Chain A
Amino acid sequence: MRYKSKLAILALSTTCLVPFGALAADDFDVGAAEVKKEAPTYLSFVEGGFGYLTESSPHFGRFSGLDDKGLFFVGNASVIQRTDNLNFRLDASNVGTDARAVRVEGGRQGKFGAFLSYEGIPALKFTDTQTPFNGTNYLSLPTGWVPGATAQAMAAQVTAALHDVTIGQERQRYGGGATWQISPEWSLSGKVRREIKEGNKTFGLVFGSQGGTRWSAVVPEPVDYVTETADVALNYNTRKLQVQFGYEVSLFDNVDPHLTAENPFTLTAAASGNNGGVATVQLPPDNSAHLMRLAAGYNLSDTTRLHANFAYGFHFQDDEFLPYSTNPAFVATVPLPRDSLDGEVRNTLAEVGFVTRPMTQLDLRGSFRYFDRDNQTPQDLYNYALVDAATQGGNATAQARYNHPYSFTQYKAKLDAGYRLTPSTRLNVGYEYEDFERTHSEREENQTHTGKLGVRTRLANNLFGSVGYERSKRTGSTYDGMHPLEEGHHADYVAAQAGVATFGPHPGMRKYFEADLTRDKVKGSLSFMPTQAVSIGLSGNYRKDDYTETEKGLTGAPSWTATADISYSPTNAFTLSAFYSYDQSKIEQNGHHSAALIVNPDAWFEYDIKDVGHTAGIAANWDIVKDVFKLGMQYTYSRYTSKMDLTTGPATPAEGGLPENETKLHTVGLTGDYSIAPDIVLRLGYLFQKYDTTDWAYDTLGATSILRTIAMDESWDDYNAHVFTTAVRMKF
């Protein structure tokens, strides 16, 4: 594929989805790529202009920050200055929006260097979802709120109190770093980053609980995180030996560690909860992580190399606990076993490997990986209060629970061989073995064997192909579905549950990540270049997961993807490229309806969920007048659907499948660059996006549609957005 064809595909897939990036940013090939012997070489540019968005849409602008209708500033720059002694580079993009990024770096190449960076990363979701609650980390109800038994009983009151709230977050990343080449062999590098993430997301907050009945509200959860990271590495490099010793630290601080909300409900007398009071939840606690790394590579000979990676680190978390309940009437009969978790996890990694060519035709590689998550967090008995109830559970109840500090250990060995059957055909064979051991789980060990076979060949001078097949089989130790429950409850409660059929999961349930699994994977590709100007690529993947011993739970998951790419470049001045991908994944899972019917073999059901995706695109770039006028065009179309079909047994209450969810996105982009002078380019752009989506979970859901839950609408909005931009690029 010609370089320009690659660029065309590049432009197609990225720029169509970067609303104004397509129009103004980062096509760095311009300038330098068109240099002539006698023409000046432009390495740098500064670009400024304006754009206009015709429709406000948080979804359209979710990652670009371009969510409000109206004018915006287009600003991009890239400046490179390099001499034999010093170098300087500045890159700035999208400076007129919340997605702006700036990076400045400089130094003396081969001696020292430093950089500073800033980047905004919006992740906007909704601007018009609604809630009756006010505030951020203390959510209050409007004055005069009259609690009701259900959301529906308070419908008028809730509806009157609803107001818009924006859901989404924005990250602001500040970074810096430096490198120092101490000697030809030794170097030191370090970087730091401070990230502030602010905004909110939604939280399903429970105010009351009675058996399987809950009173809850989906509320805005404040997000106010600060994460600071630092990474320093000392490097030693020679032709034979390369070593790196590094240390990383990450400190996470949640400025709003708790969320409290006033209870909008009147709970029944038998319900647990804080009737007439507030409910408080713990948000992500502050934590820290430290990691020491040692990596080394050694060339034993020209044909054999060894490498090793070792790491040892900690995760700490010791935020002060909230009380069992914030209910003023709560009196702890059994105190908290500790004031904070004193959580500590020790991670150990050891990975060693080799690659060698013992014969001219044969390549071998092998590796062994050991990873251990050793959770040293203390294990205690917690007699918890259910959703801010006034009382806590005794040892003979389900509310006396031991925490489970999960630990696991992974051993993995791999061996691969590549053999050149002919100069143009290579046969690959591989084998992997994994042993995975975990604590506090239904299944303490899994073993997985994987075999791989593949051929890569040049069928003709202009035709390449490859096929591969892989099968893995996972088994393991005895599956004991009761084990975590028996281990997690107090012995008094476990004894009282003896013989109770509804204590614990269905005996046929197998959690899919622990279950026996046979996985088959087939992949293939063809690459054909019938002429110098045309390139065609076809590829496909098929995967079938078969959970062989699972009666209830996930039983199968087949999926496949097929892709076609074509590019056409009759001249250097014109490129055309297109692609299409189809992917389909299915989920087959079985279940058993209702605890009360657990012993009834006819109370079964089966879900068949099928997700289908079509993604297609076409792009063209045409230098109509070389160095003076060029046009670009892109179009992408994607359509995704998800459909669930349900089959039920004779004893299962009648339920049918669900409507198909569908998402469609059309994107059209047009760009035109006109050189007013050799160093001045007028850039015009137009982008259109049309987005349509349906989602049964939200489409007809109102704030009080659910009997005992005050809901928030979290469906994406449809939009038809047009963006017009004009900018002037000065090259120098």
Chain B
Amino acid sequence: MRLFRRAFIAIGLSLLWATAVPTAAEAADKEAATQVAAADAKAEYAANGEQTCLKCHDKAPATNILHTKHAVKGDARTPFANHQCESCHGASPQHTRKGAEGEKRAPPTVTFGPKASTPVEEQNKVCEGCHENSARISWKGSQHQFAGVACVSCHDLHTPRDPVLSKTSQPEVCFNCHKQQRAELHKPSHHPVIEGKVGCAECHNPHGSPTDKLLSGITVNDTCYQCHAEKRGPFLWEHGPVREDCTICHTPHGSVQPALLKNRAPFLCQQCHQIGHHPFGARGDTDLAGFQPQLVGKACLNCHQQVHGSNHPSGVRNMR
């Protein structure tokens, strides 16, 4: 606890320092903001809005933006209700202006994507300008934000159907970075994620969460109970690790073993239970040949089925 208090104090002091002391970066940012505001005031937005852009950008995927939520002019919050393309790409007179023949046209003020010249922080600022809301309260400081993931790394804006928003195509967007999870989700025992019946975002909140693994629930177990409410209890006879964290026994993305288990019974059970008054012990080929109930079939669960807890007054041994 002493160390914990120290850590807490250290964080508190860091926070105090970070927030109370005006920094050079903050001053620079303020200056930049002032410059941006000034630039905005005299910004030379294209007089004809998106029509200016469509003179050149007349093919998909650029034109697909016109069929998205962002292009609904009836909603005053959208980019197209304001400066259209330049709401996101910034006022770009240097880009829209026709240059001398043979002269390379300057890029828009803000460009998006992995090869964009605009830094990720600046790209994200454009999105955060509208989308930093109650659905993304924990985005800043989240694993993805802190790792420099751009909004457009996952989201495709120039399509009426953003793949990451569909359960069937969402996993592949996540797999672009999460290769290990892709491999695990192909294992014999897995949640139906690659089959399109469970989306990554049903368990995870990629925009930030009060949990380590960006879970959608407040704990691992609360996340699991969203679909497995029968295991919530509370039960009369609880199994300690089950209440603590489902991932003590299960690996949620996939397993070679049945039921998404890290290991199968009896070996998994024997990692904690080698007690007296019970025929425990080494289980191997001789027991297999003899069809010992502690090994074959459901193994320990041939008898001790209620491993998630029992509400039977005689269920202390998980048999009722």
Contacts and interface: CB of A to CB of B under 8 A. Distances in A.
Contacts of B298: 202, 204, 218, 714
B67 to A, nearest CB: 5
B274 interface: yes
Interface stretch (B39-47, B103-111, B285-293): B285-293
A441 interface: yes
Interface string B199-243: 000000000101000000011001001100111111111101101
Top 7 closest pairs, chain A to chain B, by CB: A502-B276, A655-B284, A10-B172, A110-B75, A84-B74, A355-B141, A284-B230
Contacts of B278: 212, 595
A9 B172 contact: yes
Nearest to B179: A563
B230 A254 contact: yes
Contacts, number: 560
Contact of A109 (B74, B114, B226, B241): B74
Given A360-B28, A587-B263, A595-B278, A41 B293 contact: no
A598 B256 contact: no
B272 interface: yes
A37 B241 CA distance: 61
Contacts of B219: 347, 349, 371
Contacts of B137: 242, 244, 295-297, 307, 309
B163 A304 contact: no
A613 B134 contact: no
A325 B1 CA distance: 46
- The size bracket of the interface on A is 35 or more
A161 interface: no
A364 B13 CA distance: 12
B159 A33 contact: yes
Interface string B132-172: 11111110110001111000000010011101001011011
Contact of A658 (B19, B263, B284): B284
A183 to B, nearest CB: 12
B230 A405 contact: no
Contacts of A576: none
A642 B187 CA distance: 12
B197 A656 contact: no
A708 B297 CA distance: 13
A591 B282 contact: yes
A212 B314 CA distance: 17
Nearest to B18: A356
A511 B60 contact: no
Contacts of B23: 303, 357-359
Interface string A690-720: 0001001110010001111101101010000
A438 B292 CA distance: 36
Interface stretch (A138-146, A261-269, A313-321): A313-321
Contacts of B102: none
A583 B253 CA distance: 13
A302 B296 contact: no
A167 interface: no
Contact of A356 (B7, B19, B69, B226): B19
Interface stretch (A14-22, A49-57, A679-687): A14-22
Nearest to B308: A284
B69 A109 contact: yes
A415 B234 contact: no
- Pick from A254, A297, A440, A711 the residue with the most CB of B within 10 Å: A297
B296 A404 contact: no
Given A309-B138, A611-B257, A706 B293 contact: yes
